Amino acid sequence: MNPSETATAPLQPSPTEDGDQTATARLSIEGMHCASCASRIEAELARVPGVVGASVSLTAEEATVRYAPGRDELPSLEDAVARAGYKARPAAAPEDALTRQESDRRREYRSLMRKFWFAALIAVPVMVFSYPDPLGLDRWAAFEEGSDSLLWIWRALGLATIPVLAWSGSQFYSGAWLALRHRQANMHTLIAVGISAAWLYSTVAVLWPEIFPEERFTEVYYDVAAVVVALVTLGLALEVKAKGRSSEAIRELVGLQTKRARVVRDGTEVEIPIEEVVVGDVLTVRPGEKVPVDGVIVDGQSALDESMVTGESLPVDKEPGDEVIGATVNTTGAFRFTATKVGADTALASIVRMVQDAQATKLPIQRVVDQVAGVFVPAVIIVAIAAFVVWFDLGPSPALTYAVIVAVTVLIIACPCALGLATPTSLTVGMGKGAEQGILFRGGDALQAGRQLDTLVLDKTGTITHGKPALTDVAASPTFDEQDVLRLAASVERRSEHPLAQAIVAGAAERGVASADPESFVAVPGHGVEARAEGRAVLLGNRKLLADRGVDVAALQERAETLASEGKTPMYLAVEGRAAGLVAVADTIKPDSVAAIAQLRELGLEVAMITGDNERTAAAVARQVGVDRVLAEVLPEDKAHEVQKLQLEGRRVGMVGDGINDAPALTQADVGLAIGTGTDVAIEASDVTLVGGSLQSVVSAIEISQATMRNVRQNLFGAFVYNTAGLPIAAGLLYPFFGVLLSPLIAAAAMAFSSVTVVSNANRLRHWKPKEALA
Amino acid sequence: MSIDQIAVTAAGLLAIAGVAWFFWGPRGEGVKAALNSAGVQEAMILVKGGYTPDTIVVEAGTPVRLSFRREETAACSERVLFPAFGRSADLPEGEVVPIELTPDAPGEYGFECGMGMLHGKLVVR
């Protein structure tokens, strides 16, 4: 177990050296001041019955306690801390951390909105008095240009905007100051410098008009200061809100976890917090309840809705021996199961962790963006200074006014946030969307590469097909009945453990044909079985077995050939020395494989099937599912080589297979997609894990990466175009040609809404839905 | 060109040079992580408008624990990423969040906030 994971997993049973199970609890402790406080608490905790070890961290203000599970221990631990003179409460669990993040966000949003309303309240009268013309106020004598009364109105406006800057705009100043201390600059720096410049210039102009004789009474820019603060603050608030939505998918996943579990201990059923469930506990699940942790069914049966983890919409039938996944929902049956994975090891916890880690990785495309973003803000400041100088030296009169306002506009229109937000937000939404469908991307590069694939190699066994043989055909000689053929075949195979035999027995049962134990049974290795059933001598096996026993199979020969050409394995049945019929088994194709392959081809991918089967069987399956290319008779160890050969043709290859046998090929491929095996979601070799295990999810995976990358591109394009177009216009590049100069107010609006647009565009991905499977 | 134009131009050029030096100029050495009794190199990092300290010097091959404590509400910094290590963590306000990793090869590994606006550096020797 990775030590850092314990930090996010509050309670995690793990085996001790002597093999016993212990549970770990984390307590958050208040009121500690020194190392001796910590050791006092440790000593007190160690005295609690059942506690194996306790360690207290002063810096983290936290106690980690290992104890033998069995009872609800937390209250006695809290009492022990209280005895030592401190206050304890259970430390935040990961889901609580997410909830906290959410409430932090809400608080941040409310605080920003309050600041916005205050700034807006002041900005409106400031605007009215700054631009009296539209309302006809300019007819009043007080607004007469150059008059003392106008000067006094302006001075009043300057006073009114002070609280806007000081309170509503405080985050810009504190943000800028903190960044400056690290010799860094950010959006806050630009806004803070911009609004300060506008305000200071105006203030100097109204307090000491004689300093700028040329500019006297031309214009003041208090409205800029107030409106920019209001708009940008509103933009920040909306962005906070939109960002909260981007991580909704992961929050929903975490929310799936149940809080309590019913465990059978000492023969009675007790309800305990889920954190206290240890591996080996037997848990009961009633109809309609959620499965608390991962495990294997011991008795009972039911159908489970696993859609939240695998994306598979139909409930899955489960019986003793089958795996159940924590957080899935039991439908109508009741069952008991043994816990196999608990705490941070469950499939759900792994999924959440994988998605969170993946969301934190970077798209390769983003490295370029980062390089730009790294120099962006200082570069904007330099552009602003340069624009100021150029306008001062070459601009029209009043030069100083123009220079100031152009510099301010440049500072305000630049939006580094849109650049910074463009890819991570889309990535977060896209990966969350994938997790909803049971598709886990290991990182941003997998997502980006997924879009660029042109060839997809599908492993046949277990990917296109079920991976285990099933009864497909029964044929009878003219004198026999198909029912009899199947019944006898099933009866003689009841004793056999061969997978083909089991397929026949299961197939008969499925078709409602009752079989009985044979009276005698001899396996003929490599050929079949020789048995007595229902008082008759029965042979079941390949043609050679029957030929050796002198049975004439000529009548069945043709049918057998046909079956073999369809990729099936025919077995001859002889009763009392006469050919009675055929049963055929084959690895059957999963019901959605054909539709999924058609969709993959529609997405523009060339689909190849790779298999160890002989050419004929492979070709038969290939025909049925409609792949473009067949790679047959490939030994398992050569699969990676085949993938490499395709890559040498200049293709970008995705490989779909299981995570164990196909690991080298998955690693070799540009994108390895591993079909999930039950609760084991963290498949190392794969770039993408498909928890659901159906080919349909491969389609969804490709579609999600295409949709996400399209979204990223739109965002980046938007952010780059916005900044590269906005900056020169703000600097007044159009002025010499068209006389166009951007108002700082427009710049503020553009800046505020550009980052909101980016986040909102990313959130559009939330509405992405997998295409319905073709009928 | 008038005298004030010359003055403004000179001041502007000086300011540009100043900005460039301030943000892009050479930086200090950074803080060396302390080796604790458990053999882990530890450093506390305050997240507030930036990372303090923003450059942490560690030895290669020895486990490193960086304890982040975020003391601001701006959503910007609520996540810290170590792209080179494929690691990340949420930083709830006011909580100490440890990130443990063992850098094997010497070099400089950046860490940053989710939006790539705040930057720090792990210097591995």
- Nearest chain B alpha carbon to A240: B75
- Mention every residue, 6+ apart, whose C-beta is less than 8 A from residue A552: A579
pLDDT at A254 over 70: yes
Please report the ipTM that was assigned to this predicted complex.
0.71
Distance CA A505, CA A83 (A): 66
Angle at A37 between CA A31 and CA A40, to 5 degrees: 125
Per-residue confidence band for A772, with pLDDT thresholds at 50, 70 and 90 = low
* DSSP H/E element including A317: strand A316-318
pLDDT confidence of residue A23: 67
Distance CA A493, CA A513 (A): 14
CB contact under 8 A, A360 and B81: yes
Nearest to B100 among A3, A60, A386 (CB): A3
> Across chain A, what does the average pLDDT equal?
82
What single-letter DSSP state applies at residue A480?
S
Residues of A in contact with B23 (CB under 8 A): 183-185, 377-378
pLDDT confidence of residue B15: 94
CA A418 to chain centre: 22
Strand ranges across the sheet with A282-285: A268-273, A260-265, A282-285, A335-341, A294-300, A323-324
CB contact under 8 A, B83 and A98: no
pLDDT at A1 over 50: no
pLDDT confidence of residue A168: 92
**Do the beta carbons of residue A528 and residue A571 sit within 8 Å?**
yes
- Mention every residue, 6+ apart, whose C-beta is less than 8 A from residue A430: A447, A704, A705, A707, A708, A711, A765
Distance CA A457, CA A445 (A): 19
CB contact under 8 A, B16 and A382: yes
Which candidate in B45, B76, B80 is best for mutational testing of the A interface (most A CBs within 10 A)?
B76
Minimal CA separation from A290 to chain B, in Å = 28
pLDDT confidence of residue A112: 92
Helix (H, G, I), strand (E, B), or coil: what is residue A544? helix
Return the residue matching tokens 């053999």: B39
DSSP chain B: --HHHHHHHHHHHHHHHHHHHHHHS-----EEPEE-TTS-EEEEEEESSSEESSEEEE-TTS-EEEEEEE----GGGSEEEEGGGTEEEE--BT-EEEEEE---S-EEEEEEETTS-SEEEEEE-
CB-defined contacts A:B, below 8 A: 140
Q: List pLDDT tens digits, range A641-670.
A: 999 999 999 999 999 987 777 888 888 899
Closest CA to A735 of A280, A321, A403, A313: A403
**Do the beta carbons of residue A96 and residue A9 sit within 8 Å?**
no
pLDDT at A217 over 60: no
The pairing of strands A606-610 and A455-459 is parallel
Helix (H, G, I), strand (E, B), or coil: what is residue A524? strand
- Nearest chain B alpha carbon to A443: B86
Closest CA to B112 of B85, B90, B82: B82
Q: List pLDDT tens digits, range B55-106.
A: 888 888 888 888 888 887 776 778 888 877 877 788 887 778 888 888 888 8
Distance CA A413, CA A407 (A): 10
CB contact under 8 A, A92 and B95: yes
pLDDT at A736 over 70: yes
Please state at what angle helix A222-246 crosses helix A148-163, rounded to 10 degrees.
30
If contacts are CB pairs under 8 Å, which of residues 20-59 in chain B contact chain A?
20, 22-25, 27, 44, 48-52, 54
The pairing of strands A536-541 and A653-658 is unpaired
Phi-psi region of A318 (alpha: psi -120 to 50; beta: other; left: phi over 0): beta
pLDDT at A520 over 80: yes
Residues of A in contact with B7 (CB under 8 A): none
Residues of A in contact with B116 (CB under 8 A): 366, 369-370, 373, 420, 424
Per-residue confidence band for A213, with pLDDT thresholds at 50, 70 and 90 = low
Distance CA A617, CA A540 (A): 22
CB contact under 8 A, B8 and A389: yes
**Do the beta carbons of residue A698 and residue A602 sit within 8 Å?**
no
Angle at A713 between CA A709 and CA A717, to 5 degrees: 175
CA A652, A655, A660, A661: dihedral to nearest 10 degrees?
-100
**Do the beta carbons of residue A171 and residue A108 sit within 8 Å?**
no
User: In this predicted structure, which of A135-149, A291-305, A456-470, A538-552 has the lowest mean pLDDT?
Assistant: A135-149
pLDDT at B39 over 70: yes
Distance CA A587, CA A569 (A): 9
Closest CA to A410 of A384, A378, A376, A382: A384
pLDDT confidence of residue A54: 79
**A136: exposed, middle or buried (Cβ count in 10 Å: 0-12, 13-18, 19+):** exposed
Minimal CA separation from A177 to chain B, in Å = 8
CA A472 to chain centre: 39
The larger pLDDT score, comparing residue A530 to residue A40, is at A530
**A161: exposed, middle or buried (Cβ count in 10 Å: 0-12, 13-18, 19+):** buried
Using CA atoms, how far residue A425 sits from A125, A240, A429, in Å, is: 37, 12, 6
Per-residue confidence band for A218, with pLDDT thresholds at 50, 70 and 90 = low
pLDDT confidence of residue A7: 35
Using CA atoms, how far residue A242 sits from A255, A753, A762, B74, in Å, is: 20, 12, 9, 14
If contacts are CB pairs under 8 Å, which of residues 397-426 in chain A contact chain B?
403, 416-417, 420-421, 424
pLDDT at A362 over 90: no
CB contact under 8 A, A59 and B67: yes
Share of residues in chain A with pLDDT > 90 (%): 16
Active site annotation includes A670? no
Which candidate in B6, B23, B81 is best for mutational testing of the A interface (most A CBs within 10 A)?
B23
- Nearest chain B alpha carbon to A370: B116
Distance CA A415, CA A718 (A): 11
Residues of B in contact with A377 (CB under 8 A): 23
Q: Which range, A265-269, A369-373, B120-124, has the best average confidence (pLDDT)? A: B120-124
Distance CA A651, CA A631 (A): 16
What's the mean pLDDT in A142-162?
Answer: 81
If contacts are CB pairs under 8 Å, which of residues 264-283 in chain A contact chain B?
none
Share of residues in chain B with pLDDT > 90 (%): 12
pLDDT confidence of residue A389: 94
Q: List pLDDT tens digits, range A266-275.
A: 888 888 888 8
pLDDT at B20 over 50: yes
CB contact under 8 A, A107 and B73: yes
Distance CA A682, CA A562 (A): 42
pLDDT at A10 over 60: no
At B119, which amino acid appears? H
Nearest to A178 among B25, B27, B48 (CB): B48
pLDDT at A17 over 70: no
Distance CA A697, CA A515 (A): 38
CB contact under 8 A, B83 and A362: yes
**What are the backbone dihedrals phi and psi of residue B65, each rounded to the nearest 5 degrees, phi first?**
-120, 115
Distance CA A465, CA A589 (A): 4
Tell me, yes or no, if B97 comes closer than 8 A to chain A by beta carbon. Answer: yes
Per-residue confidence band for A336, with pLDDT thresholds at 50, 70 and 90 = very high
**A564: exposed, middle or buried (Cβ count in 10 Å: 0-12, 13-18, 19+):** middle
CB contact under 8 A, A182 and B16: no
Tokens of A34: 């020194």
- Nearest chain B alpha carbon to A388: B12
Per-residue confidence band for A682, with pLDDT thresholds at 50, 70 and 90 = low
> Across chain B, what does the average pLDDT equal?
84
Distance CA A483, CA A609 (A): 36
pLDDT confidence of residue A67: 74
Residues of B in contact with A97 (CB under 8 A): 90, 92, 95
DSSP A5-40: HHHH-S---EE-TTS-EEEEEEEEEES--SHHHHHH
**Do the beta carbons of residue A325 and residue A309 sit within 8 Å?**
yes
pLDDT at A722 over 80: yes
Q: Kindly report the number of other CB atoms within 10 A of residue A305's CB atom.
A: 17
Residues of B in contact with A92 (CB under 8 A): 92, 95
- Nearest chain B alpha carbon to A104: B73
Distance CA A491, CA A650 (A): 54
Distance CA A406, CA A394 (A): 13
* pTM of full prediction above 0.80: no
Tokens of A701: 């995976």
pLDDT at A732 over 60: yes
pLDDT confidence of residue A482: 87
Per-residue confidence band for A236, with pLDDT thresholds at 50, 70 and 90 = confident
DSSP A691-708: TT--THHHHHHHHHHHHH
**Do the beta carbons of residue B97 and residue B67 sit within 8 Å?**
yes
Distance CA A709, CA A429 (A): 11
CB contact under 8 A, B49 and A182: yes
CA A144 to chain centre: 62
Catalytic residue among A223, A445, A459, A687: A459
Q: List pLDDT tens digits, range A313-332.
A: 778 888 888 889 888 888 88
Using CA atoms, how far residue A163 sits from A200, A410, A698, B30, in Å, is: 14, 24, 56, 38
Minimal CA separation from A421 to chain B, in Å = 6
Residues of A in contact with B13 (CB under 8 A): 389
What's the mean pLDDT in A563-583?
Answer: 87
Tokens of A155: 């001075």
**Do the beta carbons of residue A742 and residue A413 sit within 8 Å?**
yes
Per-residue confidence band for A15, with pLDDT thresholds at 50, 70 and 90 = very low
Distance CA B21, CA B15 (A): 10
The larger pLDDT score, comparing residue A311 to residue A348, is at A348
Q: What is the CA radius of gyration of chain A?
A: 36
CB contact under 8 A, B1 and A182: no
Residues of A in contact with B109 (CB under 8 A): none
pLDDT confidence of residue A122: 93
Helix (H, G, I), strand (E, B), or coil: what is residue A491? helix
Per-residue confidence band for A22, with pLDDT thresholds at 50, 70 and 90 = low
Closest CA to B43 of B75, B67, B11, B79: B67
